[in-house]
Amino acid sequence: MSNRVAQPFVTHLIWLILFFAILLLVTACQPDLSGSVRKLALGQGSIIKPWVVTIEFNPGNHCLITGTKRDPTKCTKGKGFCVKRAESIEWRSKPENIGYELFFDPIQGQPLKSDGHGVLRRKIDPDAPIANYKYSIVGEGCAPDGTNTHDPHIRVDK
């Protein structure tokens, strides 16, 4: 091939390779919301990311929890926030660095306390029965009464 003919061919080939590389990168980083396992492809292996629940505290009163926000999931049966057995959940306080305790049967160990940054990560017990569960969140140093206790739900799914 002459240099004139080869140059546009090489330029188009480079653009085509670049397009497919970007397409592969974008599709590899998309979460799989059809179940509850999310994997990020990295070379040969993959990383399973935990499901995140953000605990929203009243900034003026850390004993008052105003709600929780959570990653979207899709349940096998029923509706709500579903996590498969042996998968990880990470709770985060908002504002950050507010301590709290969780009381929740399907997670190994009780009560569970957040770290100094307001983060708590645990795996669902691999033998936990498939069911809906209520768990309780109480701000650190707060009385676990009806006023200071926040009771969201989670479904352990297969």
Pairwise CA distance, residues 111 & 64, whole Å:
19
pLDDT band at 73; cut points 50, 70, 90: confident
Q: Are residues 79 and 102 in the same domain?
A: yes
pLDDT band at 47; cut points 50, 70, 90: low
Q: Are residues 106 and 132 in the same domain?
A: yes
Q: Are residues 95 and 125 in the same domain?
A: yes
pLDDT band at 112; cut points 50, 70, 90: confident
- Average pLDDT of the chain, as a whole number: 77
Q: Give the range of the structural domain holding residue 7, as residue numbers without chain letter.
A: 3-45
Tell me the mean pLDDT in the region 50-75: 90
Q: Is 70 exceeded by the pLDDT of residue 57?
A: yes
Q: Are residues 33 and 86 in the same domain?
A: no
Q: Are residues 53 and 82 in the same domain?
A: yes
Q: Are residues 72 and 145 in the same domain?
A: yes
Tell me the mean pLDDT in the region 38-52: 58
Q: Are residues 109 and 146 in the same domain?
A: yes
Task: Tell me what percent of the residues of the chain surpass a pLDDT of 90.
Answer: 27
- Phi, psi for residue 134 in degrees, rounded to 5: -100, 135
Q: Are residues 66 and 142 in the same domain?
A: yes
Q: Could you tell me the CATH number of the domain that includes residue 53?
A: 2.60.40
Q: Are residues 93 and 142 in the same domain?
A: yes
**Number of compact structural domains in the chain:** 2
End-to-end CA distance of the chain: 59
The pLDDT assigned to 30 comes to 42
Q: Is 50 exceeded by the pLDDT of residue 31?
A: no
Task: Please answer whether residues 156 and 129 qualify as being in contact, where contact means their C-beta atoms are separated by less than 8 angstroms.
Answer: yes
Q: Is 80 exceeded by the pLDDT of residue 78?
A: no
Q: Are residues 68 and 143 in the same domain?
A: yes
Beta carbons within 8 Å of 15's beta carbon, 6+ residues apart: none
The pLDDT assigned to 137 comes to 92
Q: Are residues 79 and 151 in the same domain?
A: yes
Beta carbons within 8 Å of 93's beta carbon, 6+ residues apart: 54, 55, 57, 99, 100, 114, 118, 119
**Higher pLDDT pick, 70 / 75:** 70
**Higher pLDDT pick, 78 / 69:** 69
